[in-house]
Structure 1
């Protein structure tokens, strides 16, 4: 399904099992289970174990969520705690806006 334009392809880059990485993972799982209404693929890459992949993807900060498809690609940096900002940053419709739960999500193109 790697070439299917209807599949949302996400990669989460983390640096070990830090509290911030764990929060990002928990928040992302909540979002994909409760907010996404489309098929998706999720890869989680620990940059401490696979620095080559982080270098290839030009990852400079963690946690970073990369939307690879459908285009346009997007990058979000932070713990993904604000569901509305994550959905907007990925250019996906949110079912209901969520209140920010703290943390920060920087959207970069």
Structure 2
């Protein structure tokens, strides 16, 4: 796997999206297509579609394919999720199985 980008487009393409809400830039660093990596990718995609539909860019970066990028971001464990936009910059290390922890790191709240 190389770097892959998934974009939900802009707010005009997503009728339910609020144009006043911030767009998110996320980078998920993984190690190949291991079960742990695959699960982390599926989890963050599900969260993004539920909470950020139409307003996120998710880059999935395989550290085997992009070792210099991983080194530049000081990735020491995978999966690692980095929120680059909006501020503040946040980093979450682990398999993303704790949904509440992921939502907190992204400054999102569970829907009621």
TM-score by length of 1: 0.77
Whether 1:26 and 2:5 are equivalent positions in the alignment is no
Q: 1:54 aligns with which of 46, 70, 94?
A: 70
What corresponds to 1:100 in structure 2?
none
Supply the RMSD in Å over aligned alpha carbons.
1.7
Shift, 1:82, TM fit? 2.0
Q: Which runs of 5+ in 2 are unaligned?
A: 1-20
Q: How many residue pairs get matched?
A: 92
Whether 1:80 and 2:96 are equivalent positions in the alignment is yes
| 8 Å CA contact 1:88, 1:94 repeated in 2 | no
Shift, 1:6, TM fit? 2.6
Structure possessing the higher relative contact order (Cα contacts under 8 Å, 6 or more residues apart): 2
User: Which is higher, the Rg of structure 1 or of structure 2?
Assistant: 2
TM-score by length of 2: 0.75
Report the 3-state secondary structure (helix = DSSP H, G, I; strand = E; otherwise coil) of the residue aligned with 1:87: helix
For 1:19 and 1:83, the matched residues in 2 are separated by 18
What corresponds to 1:102 in structure 2?
none
Encode CA deviations 1:43-76: one digit per residue, 9 max, x unaligned.
0100000000001111110000000011111111
Segments ≥4 residues shifted beyond 4 Å: none
Shift, 1:93, TM fit? 2.3
Encode CA deviations 1:7-53: one digit per residue, 9 max, x unaligned.
20000000111111011011111111113356111101000000000
